[in-house]
Amino acid sequence: MKKVLILGAGLVVKPMVEYLLKNNFELMVASPMKERADEMIKGNPHGSSLDWSMDDRPCLRSLFQTMILL
């Protein structure tokens, strides 16, 4: 399964999230607006979200490694 990591859950991301989930991509949305990311994912089992700040570089490194290993 193809995996996608989206950094940020701004309003322009919603169509991309919907497209990726509709086409069975494994999707992680990392954003300081986790609630907005959750609204976009709508409980889809292929989607997940994480409360993430751009200042948290160790977490970003971990996200990339996790997406590679999934």
Identify the CA nearest to 66 among candidates 32, 30, 36, 16. Answer: 30
**Higher local confidence (pLDDT), 34 or 61:** 34
pLDDT grade for 70, boundaries at 50, 70 and 90: low
pLDDT tens per residue, range 46-58: 999 999 988 888 8
Q: What span, in angstroms and rounded, lies between the C-alpha atoms of 41 and 52?
A: 16
4-60 pLDDT tens trace: 999 998 889 999 999 999 999 999 999 999 999 999 999 999 999 999 988 888 888
- Residue-level pLDDT at 69: 65
